[in-house]
């Protein structure tokens, strides 16, 4: 990483649309419905060598709405973590919010999940963190905490203000990871 990027030690990732393919107007309700984004496993393996800790921060309103059970969500996360580990990546912790109300402190863009992570990992410094997401709520979550923010994907039209709010934009998580790896190798 470049000297300016070396200051970042902690990585926060949204799940749907970043790690796995988002299901429009639906939820990932089972392991069978969980499909990794292209090269996401490679991306997380690369990122695991560049960051001290990686956290998944995900809104999971489907549980709160009764569309799926918390046990099904746990099965999806267990599958995701085992696949990531088998490919050489490491996720320190997953934080999720099943609340349905947008006013919930734990529901992004609100910052409750970040402070839950801070309780578990007091070494986290938000100014030394990057938030990667595919939604405006992810980017606003990161901005509220003083994180560097990275938008991935093409969910929004190019004239949407999200592109001026986010600090950077990449096609996907892999392209972001690759850019950091290349910068890191250039610094060696």
Q: Tell me which residues are annotated as active site.
A: 14, 16
Tokens 């489907």 identify what position? 62
C-alpha–C-alpha distance, residues 15 and 12, integer Å: 10
The DSSP secondary-structure symbol of 1 reads -
List the alpha helices (DSSP H) in the chain: 3-6, 40-50, 61-64, 70-86, 112-120, 136-144, 162-165, 173-187
User: Using CB atoms within 10 A of its CB, is residue 121 exposed (0-12), middle (13-18) or buried (19+)?
Assistant: middle
Secondary structure (3-state) at 173: helix
User: Using CB atoms within 10 A of its CB, is residue 22 exposed (0-12), middle (13-18) or buried (19+)?
Assistant: buried
**Helix H or strand E segment including 41:** helix 40-50
Tokens 């970043």 identify what position? 18
């Amino acid at each position: 990483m470049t000297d300016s990027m070396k200051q970042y030690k902690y990585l926060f990732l949204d799940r749907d649309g970043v790690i796995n393919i988002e299901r429009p107007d639906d939820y990932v309700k089972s392991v069978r419905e969980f499909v990794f984004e292209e090269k996401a496993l490679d991306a997380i393996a690369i990122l695991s060598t560049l960051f001290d800790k990686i956290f998944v921060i995900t809104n999971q309103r489907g549980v709160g709405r009764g569309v799926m059970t918390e046990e099904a969500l746990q099965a999806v996360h267990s599958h995701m973590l085992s696949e990531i580990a088998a490919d050489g990546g490491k996720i320190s912790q997953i934080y999720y919010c099943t609340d349905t109300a947008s006013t919930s402190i734990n529901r992004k863009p609100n910052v409750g999940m970040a402070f839950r992570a801070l309780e578990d990992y007091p070494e986290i410094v938000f100014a030394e963190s990057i938030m990667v997401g595919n939604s405006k709520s992810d980017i606003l979550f990161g901005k509220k905490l003083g994180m560097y923010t990275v938008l991935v994907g093409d969910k929004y039209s190019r004239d949407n203000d999200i592109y001026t709010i986010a600090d950077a934009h990449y096609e996907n998580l892999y392209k972001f990871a690759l850019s950091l790896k290349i910068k890191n190798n250039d610094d060696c």
